[in-house]
Structure 1
Amino acid sequence: MLENRKYVVIGFFCLIGVLYLARLFYLQVLDDNYSLGASKNSIKRVIEVPYRGQIYDRTGTKLLVDNTPVYDLYVTPKQVRISDTAAFCRLMNITKPDFDSIMGLALNYSKVKPSLFLRRLAKEDFARIQDALVDYRGFSPVISSMRTYPSHTMSNALGYVSEVSRKQLDEQEYPYYRQGDYIGHGGLEQEYEQQLRGRRGVKFMMQNVYGVNKGSWKNGAYDTVAVAGQNLITGIDVDIQRFADSLMQHKVGAVIAIEPSTGEILASVSAPTFDPEMLSTRSFSKSYMSLLRNPYRPLFNRPIMASYRPGSTFKLIQALLAQQDGTLSPHTVYGHAGSPMRCHCRGGQDLRGAIGNSCNPYFYQVFRRMIYNNAERNTFKASAIGLAKWHEGVEKFGIGQKLGVDMPSEKLGNLPDVAYYDKMYGGANLWKFSYVSSLSIGEGELLISPLKLANLAAAIANRGWYITPHYARGFGRVGAGLPAQYTQRHETGVDRSYFLPVIDGMRRTMVNGSARSVNLSTIDLCGKTGTSQNAKFGHRYDHSIFIGFAPMNDPKIAIAVFVENSGWGSDVAAPIAGLIAERYIHKRTISKHVANRMMNAYFLPPIERVEPIGKPAPRRPRTDSTKGTDPRNGQSPRIDSIATPKPLAPKPMMTIKPRPVQTAGVGGN
């Protein structure tokens, strides 16, 4: 019995030994994982960075953003062996302090992990140092790419690519980026980063003790191939984009054009602009700081982020909501009596005439009747009830909220509601209609971005609906991969029949109304002028606004134009919008005399200097908008490029604040 038990124990231990031997055989012979880990000293893991996807115009043939191959030089501090630092610095074309600074940052990051030493070396620069790198251990080149911009336009909307920040490294949910990697910042580069960046590849290379590559490890069995990013096709029409750039030279403002039937953005101009190549070179930091210090704020994406009072363009919404509310008909006539607002027309207009001539008292009465359209006698309570209903109707046009455009940093603007005024005036029933009457003509606390006014023009062109404005048209081909939100219709809640008299009024604006002096006979343009109050420099320098669409009965383009500090909406914004619509519809500029006048018009605002206490601020010099003359030097600004206008060089301590002040106004055309 005991003898049998002995064999059982021996058998058990033998079985355990066989299992251990089998596992050991598997780990040492069959499984390569531990072999790969033990080979780190002789096997080099090389990351292959894919090319970012290219960005095209709406035809898919003209490049907005391309790639050119460059080399990034990485350093692993623990492996560095440099016998002559001065000779190394001469080879790399850097100074000794720069070398010490870069090595210090690399050591702080990690002694054993590679970090970026020099970025974006051109092929010629890399060829010069390639052979010499064998003598300097710890330095390894990685082929990369640099963004180039063949069209030299749309810098704010495209964004740029730069090194990933420490904050972004710490906040990433999935550990994809390493220090020294590039990532999209701002614009489409940031919005579609995941689609554009592609997928990195990995190669395992054998090295000898001197760090010289000896070929692929295990014939590339563990290598993965880099996958290039997807190409983005946008809705941008490069021709009208560059043409709009040229019209906005020497001006501050925005132009945004939309195809009403699809919501695709055809042109997006933020003025003043800059050449996007400035942020794709090795001197990125210097260029970025130069743009950041520019008092005209060229890095500020005005079509999406700026907030302006819409001025008289907002009367279109008032007319639509009042008709839907039943408090206005196309034949309703109001005179100037009983209105505290001034006007430049003779009064006695019906709806079409009031829109065409931009009659302030008319829309004061329209808004007043909307607000008081209830049975309450208490004027305070009536104002609150009426304003709440008005607010709900305006929101359906996309005002006071984010539209959802495929662009980071879209701003809400401001659409005041009952709670807003309760807070402003210290509680409910402490304000009444006279406190909010400036909203009737698009002034007061109302703030709207150019994008939302262009979307309003598109909604009117469509007779009651719009598709969320968007830059993307597809990935690889038109329509492929486009998010569903950019194909869905949004209803404004206003009956189609109520749009017809408003559109008639917009056409009357161009034929014999407030914009008759700039009506272009080449297109059937419907529009509305606006003048946004700018008390900073006096009413002579209010902001010029225009929104519209063309043709009248088959809309192909809806557009909004803002030009700061340039006066009436009919003076500057309207002709710019008309020229862009003409160019898009006819594929050429017919009204060349108007185009030349707008290209040479000079409306860069005065720069606010820091003055001693008690000393008056500098006055704005007179300018001749027809000849484009700057009285400071008596010469016309030279037009060298339609994509990179150059404003007068400001001093670093100068600042400018183009935001509108929050006061009630009298509106304008």
Structure 2
Amino acid sequence: MKYLEDRKYVIQAIFIAIGAVYLIKLFFIQVLDDSYKTAAENNAMRRIIQYPFRGLVYDRDGKLLVENTPVYDLMVVPKEAREIDTLKFCRLVDITLEEYREKIKAAKTYSYVKSSPFLQRLTNHEFAAIQDNLVDFPGFYINARTVRGYPHQSLSHALGYIGEISPRQLEDTSYRGYRQGDYLGVSGLERQYEKFLMGKRGVKFRMVNVNGIEKGAFKDGAYDTLSVAGQNLVSTIDLELQKYAEKMMEGKVGSIVAIEPKTGEVLTLVSAPYYDPSLLTGKELGNNYMKLLNDPVKPLFNRPLMATYPPGSIFKLAQALIAMQEGTLTPNTGYPCNWSLVKCSHRHAHPSNLGIAIEQSCNPYFYQVFRSVVNKGRSRNVYQDAKLGLDIWNNHIKSFGFASQLGIDLPNEKRGLMPNAAFYDKIYGANGWKFPTIYSVSIGQGETGVTPLQMANFAAILANRGFYYTPHIVRSVGEKGKPLPEYSVKHYTSVDPKHFPPVVEGMQRVVESGTARYARLNHIGVVLAGKTGTVQNPHGKDHSVFIAFAPKDDPKIAIAVYVENAGSGAIAAAPMASLIVEKYLTDTITTANRKRWEADMISGAFYKWGN
């Protein structure tokens, strides 16, 4: 019996100990530890993201290119969105019951207790129509943000657009810090300068009641953080020149790129056809994007950076420079216009020197110039000689920025193509080709491909007599900032500067008395140096090409114009380039005759023009 009596006390002691533990724990929870209190508060607290103002973009003269306009996102917390009049809500926000169910399902998939966008990019009018009625629909609230706005309709390809981050990007560690519903740059400057433009998010905490109605700041805003606006960009673009160049290319397909040679700053960058940048903002972004994407003329395709074309006769200038560097050509070298080698586009006397050959754009002359480099006689084997010569030529030509990315501060720049020995070995075999196989490269045809940006950069190299700065479209990050350091480095070609003056003189002759007579700027006292090109097109009418710079002895602008299916370089590209240069240098088109030419270029009345 005593044994049983002892067990009773043991059991009582155990119960007392357990009770004591519970009492101590309750005291700790209720008096000492406030974590549960905080958790309770959290159930009545809403975390609202404060989206920063994205950095603005200006042109070189301080004109606003990209601004911010307010929009509103209707957010939902699925846990709180219960027992509401669904039909009334659908009428309020103008959606169907099926759409409501799909959106609520998507929100629950993301999180049952966290907020996510229900309807995005509401306009001021749409916001005003629903804001006073949201009190009847717990779980729904408005979050303000900004989207891009444009006080003009130009420069769409360079500016780019912003869009909502995708699920795939959210899984990518390089996008760490972004969250669902965030916007980021998708193309153009918006993408390239995202880290400067994006700013830093803030957050505010608000107390809400059981119906989701805000009751004030949580702990007087002690845990709120302010958003930090993104940095502004000052671009190199001349907006008025951009508008003028786009007007020239209206209804056409092609590119215009103009560069300031002394700095590498891009003055204008036109990809035609173009589109209004405001189409890719706001609620209709997705629909408009698909329309542009499916348009057969490909308005989303950024031709200055992504299209690669044979350069045509403008390439003859590079052939001459390389040949002089290799010692196979002098400014006084003459070659016959021998049509048995290759046909010539013009009937003329045999060029007795380089300047005349450039002026007349003589195909047989430059056939022989290119041959002198490739078949220099470095080997007794004609096949080996061609390989050695072509690779030496290839090294020279790449120093001009061809067949490589120049490094412009825009995404998706293409390299282009310049052949070397290995390229032809893959096609014809190690001993299956020699100079006659590849002669078309001499006149910028055959296996060559350059971008319009590379053409404009080539014009800048000629203007600078042998060097260039990397083309760039942003002058500074911040109104008082500086260009990124990589855009202040001179890049020299492999050709000695002493060889450039004869070529430049030939370019002057092209405009004064050669194939680009319509491009003369004598009426404003400016000497324009240029070169036309007519690119053979197996799919239709030839392409019209022209590169130039002016003034010849103090260059302020270098330009490349490429108009697809417009005929010879003299018919479309040269007059257009000349008008754009005049507009940039004088801010106006002066004479009545030039104004008639301007009207013809804008309307596309190229039939009035001849070589």
Name the TM-score, length of structure 2 as normaliser: 0.91
For 1:636, the equivalent position in structure 2 comes to none
The runs of 5 or more residues in structure 1 that have no matched partner are 1-20, 603-623, 628-668
1:204-243 equivalences in 2 (<5 Å): 204-243=205-244
Following superposition, the deviation at residue 37 of structure 1 comes to: 5.2
SS in 1 for 2:42: coil
- Cα distance, 1:365–1:138 mapped onto 2, change above 3 Å: same
SS in 1 for 2:584: helix
1:455-470 equivalences in 2 (<5 Å): 455-470=457-472
Q: AA paired with 1:507?
A: Q
Whole-angstrom CA distance in 2 between matches of 1:580 and 1:106: 53
For 1:260, the equivalent position in structure 2 comes to 261
> Does structure 1 conserve the Cα–Cα contact (< 8 Å) formed by 2:313 and 2:534?
yes
For 2:45, the equivalent position in structure 1 comes to 43
Answer yes or no: is 1:581 the counterpart of 2:584.
no
- Cα distance, 1:27–1:520 mapped onto 2, change above 3 Å: farther
1:75-474 equivalences in 2 (<5 Å): 75-173=76-174, 175-337=176-338, 339-343=340-344, 344-349=346-351, 350-425=353-428, 427-474=429-476
For 2:538, the equivalent position in structure 1 comes to 535
Answer yes or no: is 1:597 the counterpart of 2:600.
yes
Q: AA paired with 1:353?
A: I
Q: AA paired with 1:399?
A: F
Following superposition, the deviation at residue 187 of structure 1 comes to: 0.5
- Cα distance, 1:394–1:42 mapped onto 2, change above 3 Å: same
SS in 1 for 2:328: coil
Encode CA deviations 1:125-150: one digit per residue, 9 max, x unaligned.
Answer: 21221121111122221110121111
Following superposition, the deviation at residue 222 of structure 1 comes to: 1.6
> Does structure 2 conserve the Cα–Cα contact (< 8 Å) formed by 1:73 and 1:140?
yes
> Does structure 1 conserve the Cα–Cα contact (< 8 Å) formed by 2:261 and 2:461?
yes
For 2:506, the equivalent position in structure 1 comes to 505
SS in 1 for 2:79: helix
Whole-angstrom CA distance in 2 between matches of 1:123 and 1:107: 27
Following superposition, the deviation at residue 341 of structure 1 comes to: 1.1
SS in 1 for 2:533: strand
Whole-angstrom CA distance in 1 between matches of 2:187 and 2:41: 42
For 1:633, the equivalent position in structure 2 comes to none
- Cα distance, 1:361–1:94 mapped onto 2, change above 3 Å: same
Whole-angstrom CA distance in 1 between matches of 2:35 and 2:204: 16
Higher-helix-fraction structure: 2
The runs of 5 or more residues in structure 2 that have no matched partner are 1-23
Whole-angstrom CA distance in 2 between matches of 1:401 and 1:505: 27
Q: AA paired with 1:581?
A: V
For 1:570, the equivalent position in structure 2 comes to 570
Aligned positions, number = 579
Following superposition, the deviation at residue 34 of structure 1 comes to: 7.7
CA RMSD of aligned residues (A): 2.1
Whole-angstrom CA distance in 1 between matches of 2:93 and 2:303: 40
For 1:4, the equivalent position in structure 2 comes to none
Following superposition, the deviation at residue 39 of structure 1 comes to: 3.0
Whole-angstrom CA distance in 1 between matches of 2:395 and 2:551: 30
> Does structure 2 conserve the Cα–Cα contact (< 8 Å) formed by 1:339 and 1:364?
no
> Does structure 1 conserve the Cα–Cα contact (< 8 Å) formed by 2:265 and 2:475?
yes
Q: AA paired with 1:321?
A: I
Whole-angstrom CA distance in 2 between matches of 1:285 and 1:529: 41
- Cα distance, 1:594–1:240 mapped onto 2, change above 3 Å: same
Whole-angstrom CA distance in 1 between matches of 2:46 and 2:86: 26
Whole-angstrom CA distance in 1 between matches of 2:550 and 2:83: 68
Larger Rg: 2
Encode CA deviations 1:398-420: one digit per residue, 9 max, x unaligned.
Answer: 11011111011111111111111
Q: AA paired with 2:279?
A: M
Following superposition, the deviation at residue 169 of structure 1 comes to: 1.2
Whole-angstrom CA distance in 2 between matches of 1:251 and 1:375: 47
Whole-angstrom CA distance in 2 between matches of 1:576 and 1:486: 28
1:507-656 equivalences in 2 (<5 Å): 507-521=508-522, 522=524, 523-537=526-540, 541-590=541-590, 591-601=594-604, 625-626=607-608
Following superposition, the deviation at residue 82 of structure 1 comes to: 4.9
- Cα distance, 1:334–1:82 mapped onto 2, change above 3 Å: farther
Following superposition, the deviation at residue 27 of structure 1 comes to: 13
- Cα distance, 1:375–1:592 mapped onto 2, change above 3 Å: same
Whole-angstrom CA distance in 2 between matches of 1:331 and 1:577: 30
Following superposition, the deviation at residue 33 of structure 1 comes to: 7.9
